[in-house]
Structure 1
């Protein structure tokens, strides 16, 4: 259920350093949600972890002409699997909430309604689900842009303008009087990061191997973190809640950090850590969908240390996914045996 297009990028031959980068990103997401203090570590983690996922998503986008898809085929083969996983995962988490929190039917039906509306209406067990709807919308926007506007410079001007427009106001509630369905306005930001991933992937495959660029990007990112800690700057990038202090900062700084993470990931593939990180990277979506539910269950039994929450929030979904896959394989084998006997 949870192996979406996002995680299926290289079913024929996976690229290890991309899986490792996704692992670092999802660890940052889980830790960010578990970490109790809104200090420099917390703020600077939010500068890059969600932009990283949108940027990586752009690595494997192709125009409809290259894919030889009509628009209905694109919706059926690329969009629908993501939406299906969003709905199935959401329904599962809401049912878990129903039993764990002993909710009444009225509350649970309302929760299903909020799942359909998405965005900032989702909190608690499903608060991270906003990512998938924004990802779907950004995928559609970027695919259509690169299909119908062949000029790369014009594409950049469009996504750059959309980004500046999308970060020019406080939030949807203030601008429109209501939160946008699916966090649709955040798509204006996400589409920019995704297009950057689409455009830069062929160059990044070489650039991540450069030790000089790795050192430069890490030094620049470290300098920005120190500046934030010392109060020389005071910037936040919270995509879901649309808290953006500076549009230009939000446009360029996440790119510096994401390149650092990608370059670090490239070199991590030559270390013993690669095996563990690759496993985490292959299960990013089930971790994204379920870690907040894991947190709430643990907190009910008084396990509330952020380190424990983070560790279990990462490992338990992976174990569940592996067990689920083994059971599917067993049932498939059993059906085949019954058919052939």
Structure 2
């Protein structure tokens, strides 16, 4: 009984529509990594499913002055957990690859060095790990900006300028000869999306309740997707590889699509699928870390269908996390009972 009580207590502190929006994002990430075609669906979901995570990442960011918190505390409580998970999950995936593929120790060492360098040089099992390093850089940058620049208009000007700079060239590799550590150039885009999330959150909480907002944002997003499907435009936004067709399009259209996804998520919380989507949204990082490695293992077993791969890439990490939480809660209860008994 204690397990369910703790779970309920934890869930009451979350915002349902945010978890649902994260679920929508991670489901599309997994599908796109399994999907075999580079069609309109593929290209247009890439416009916004990663910007959505950066946008949501800004929702609860506060000025360090407002929180009366030192930057060192921020690093310890906000940055270090992300970095720790990045290193642990990355190491586990690399070790799994080493064992399953029978790789050499030089390969193992080289891949660990790649994990430390991060960014665009990560491929295969670890290709999705670029997101965490970029997220960390954006998190730190936006926190510094909202802490030490008191004027909103100047903050907006700065993050917009960084975005324009970050999309003004083909890629760091083509410009500088090699990718930047942790995809630092891609972080210039993420900073903009995350700041927009931080700024807009208090307004979103009001407008998401209005059906007009849902209708307008979905209509605009559908309009741009239809233009892409009809061939009137041909826009790509692949953040990791820095493949951006048009910087202004990448600034505006992903936000329209993200707001449409958030509005849809708000109304989905009143439907029968809300509990499943909330559960998925609470464990997006585990799914992000694990799904590509699972794809590789499943393909070895001759599971090639993208729908099967997508379902497994979501369900199996989710089951592993839930089982881990159950085991942790079970042993916590056992320890509690021992203390009571001894007392």
**What is the TM-score of this pair, normalised by structure 1?**
0.95
Distance 2:66 2:87 in 1: 29
Aligned-CA RMSD value:
1.2
- Please give the per-residue CA displacement for 1:121-169, whole angstroms capped at 9, x wherever unaligned: 1111111000000000000000000000010010000000000000000
Q: Which residue of 1 aligns with 2:325?
A: 325
- Please give the per-residue CA displacement for 1:222-275, whole angstroms capped at 9, x wherever unaligned: 111111111100100000000000000000000100010000000000000001
Q: Which residue of 2 aligns with 1:108?
A: 108
Q: Which residue of 1 aligns with 2:302?
A: 302
Q: Which residue of 2 aligns with 1:34?
A: 34
3-state DSSP class of the match of 2:184? helix
Residues 186 and 256 (structure 1), Cα distance of their counterparts in 2 relative to 1, 3 Å cut: same
Q: Which residue of 1 aligns with 2:88?
A: 88
* Cα drift, residue 335 of structure 1: 3.8
Distance 2:282 2:229 in 1: 33
Name which of structure 1's ranges 27-36 and 207-216 shifts more when overlaid on structure 2: 207-216
Alignment of 1:122-137 (within 5 A): 122-137=122-137
Distance 1:304 1:118 in 2: 29
Gaps of 5+ in 1: 1-9
Alignment of 1:107-256 (within 5 A): 107-256=107-256
- Please give the per-residue CA displacement for 1:26-69, whole angstroms capped at 9, x wherever unaligned: 00100111100111110000001000000000001011112211
3-state DSSP class of the match of 2:89? helix
- Please give the per-residue CA displacement for 1:8-27, whole angstroms capped at 9, x wherever unaligned: xx876111011000000000
- Please give the per-residue CA displacement for 1:179-217, whole angstroms capped at 9, x wherever unaligned: 110001101000000000000000001111111121111
- Please give the per-residue CA displacement for 1:282-333, whole angstroms capped at 9, x wherever unaligned: 0101001111011111011110110001000000000000111111222333
Q: Which residue of 2 aligns with 1:19?
A: 19
Q: Which residue of 2 aligns with 1:47?
A: 47
Distance 1:35 1:205 in 2: 34
Distance 1:150 1:28 in 2: 37
Name which of structure 1's ranges 10-19 and 130-139 shifts more when overlaid on structure 2: 10-19
Distance 1:24 1:336 in 2: 38
Distance 1:272 1:102 in 2: 46
**What is the TM-score of this pair, normalised by structure 2?**
0.94
Distance 2:265 2:12 in 1: 20
Gaps of 5+ in 2: 1-9
Distance 1:78 1:266 in 2: 26
